[in-house]
Amino acid sequence: MRLLHDDTAEILLNVPRYQFGWQRDFFLAQPRRVALDRLDATQLEVQCEFANPGAEPVYGGYGSKEEMCYNFSLLALAKGEDHKDSARKPAP
């Protein structure tokens, strides 16, 4: 997972040797701050790589033996900052 902003890319999470039984959450050791006025120019990128060396195909799905790459990210507004203008209108 990478945070892209201001022409830079910061790796937030890299798990090069993922194990089958690791179906858990990961949390950043240090929270990352993005200024509200830069939020529109900031992206969170997730890349998953798959290796299915067996003869049988592996299809996507929700089960442990099915291929999956889900990312859920949490975003929190800093306490005490003025967020009344932070509500965004949906893109047209």
Q: What is the pLDDT of residues 45-88, one digit of tens each?
A: 988 877 777 788 877 777 777 776 777 788 777 776 655 555 55
Lowest mean pLDDT among 20-29, 31-40, 63-72, 81-90: 81-90
Q: What are phi and psi of 41, to 5 degrees?
A: -100, 10
5 falls in which pLDDT band (50, 70, 90)? confident
**Coil/strand/helix, residue 38:** helix
Question: Is 39:83 a contact under the CB 8 Å cutoff?
Answer: no
Please give the structure tokens belonging to residue 42. Answer: 């900031």
**Residue 39 clears pLDDT 80, i.e. is over it:** yes
The ranges assigned to domains in the chain are 1-78
pLDDT of the residue at 90: 53
